[in-house]
Amino acid sequence: MPELPDVTVYVETIESHVKGRKIEKIRIGNPFIVRSVDPPIYEAEGKTVRDVRRIGKRIAIGLDDDLWIVIHLMIAGRFRWLKSGAKLPGRLGLASFDFDNGSLVLTEAGTQRRASITLVRGEEALAEINRGGVEPLETDLAGFSEALRKENHTLKRSLTDPTLFSGIGNAYSDEILHRAKLSPVKHTNRLTDEEIATLFNATKDILVEWTNRLREQSRGEFPAKVTAFHDEMAVHGRFGKPCPVCGSPVQRIRYASNETNYCARCQTDGKLLADRALSRLLKQDWPKSIDEL
């Protein structure tokens, strides 16, 4: 799922292409993409784009008459910029917003349709969409610490909870925790003030670094490839590959369709965290440390 860096680059690119321009036509390729009825989606036709914002992992496009088109890409939703009025790309094409200079097209790969478009009116309705998490690049250490200590969860869960932190998901939480040298399963009530400060700095550093990296890659155009997996990442999606800091093989914890990646030597003092599937299968044969592995 696109996270804060990816969505930020999308917001900037959309703004540079369509701010101040009028939506001439809206084409819906799949009616299930629209999740609102009142106001109707076609009321946005003829309206001029006045603002583009990120709300968590959502993109909000502000129009005349205080209308807001809110788009959630979920896992496989992506944007393309095509010639104005271009045909929607087969089964992938969900919707198109046509401008005089091109068409902003929403696509989604796969068979599951999770991406959504919602039209709301007014800042109050827009605020209801916000899950309430603090903005990690806007808060200070005190605000970050307060959010982190609001509930006692594992660090992985807390960082990815949208009611605590805005825009952080599975991929960048792995990178943040590796940079901070903290275990993904350490509970927030066991953190020292020094560890929280380290995590705060790592969060800002990782999100800024990756936002800048993605900006450089896209160079003002719509990103050709938006993915949670990058070769330049330290641990996320790199199970079995060497940690760039210590060279130990990156480990993982799998649960449902998600996977947490970490370096045992850098983050857990060499201890291997129990993988729900493998550790239950191997039982007493499950290695307890990276050295034993």
pTM: 0.92
Q: Say yes or no: 76 and 176 in one domain.
A: no
CB atoms under 10 Å from CB of 256, counted, come to 6
Judge if 114 and 199 occupy the same domain.
Answer: no
- Does residue 293 fall inside a structural domain? no
CATH code of the domain in which 122 resides = 3.20.190.10
Residues 57 and 155 in one domain: no
Q: Per-residue pLDDT for the chain (293 aa), expressed as one digit of tens each?
A: 899 999 999 999 999 999 999 999 999 999 999 999 999 999 999 999 999 999 999 999 999 999 999 999 999 999 999 999 999 998 899 999 999 999 999 999 987 889 999 999 999 999 999 999 999 999 999 999 999 999 999 999 999 999 999 999 999 999 999 999 999 999 999 999 999 999 999 999 999 999 999 999 999 999 878 888 899 999 999 999 999 999 999 999 987 668 999 999 999 999 999 865 544 443 444 456 665 65
The residue whose two tokens read 């990120």 is 54
Pair (241, 164) in one structural domain: yes
What pairing do the DSSP bridges indicate for beta strands 67-72 and 49-55? Answer: unpaired
Q: Pick from 129, 158, 193: which residue ends a domain?
A: 129
> Which domain CATH number covers 164?
1.10.8.50
Cα distances (Å, whole numbers) of residue 133 to 161, 206, 215, 268: 8, 18, 24, 27
**Of 106, 129, 152, which residue constitutes the final position of a domain?**
129
233 shares a domain with 171? yes
Identify the CA nearest to 86 among candidates 43, 9, 22, 25.
Answer: 25
The overall longest dimension of the chain from CA atoms, in Å, is: 66
If asked whether residues 94 and 180 sit together in one domain, one would say no
The set of residues, in sequence order, having a beta carbon less than 8 Å from that of 219 and lying 6+ positions away, is none
Q: Are residues 181 and 224 in the same domain?
A: yes
Is residue 69 situated within a structural domain? Answer: yes
Whether the CB-CB separation of 228 and 171 falls below 8 Å is answered with yes
> Up-side HSE of residue 20: CA atoms within 13 Å toward CB?
2
145 and 219 together in one domain: yes
Residue 113 lies in a domain: yes
The domain in which residue 62 lies consists of 4-129
Strand partners of residue 77:
108
Residue where a domain stops, chosen among 94, 129, 164: 129
Q: What is the pLDDT of residue 287?
A: 57
**Domain-located, residue 136:** no
Residues 121 and 8 placed together within one structural domain of the fold: yes
Looking at the fold, whether 123 and 9 belong to one and the same domain comes out as: yes
Whether residues 28 and 112 fall in one domain: yes
Q: What is the pLDDT of residues 107-154, one digit of tens each?
A: 999 878 899 999 999 999 999 999 999 999 999 999 999 999 999 999
How many domains are there within the chain?
A: 2
Do 52 and 155 fall within a single domain?
no
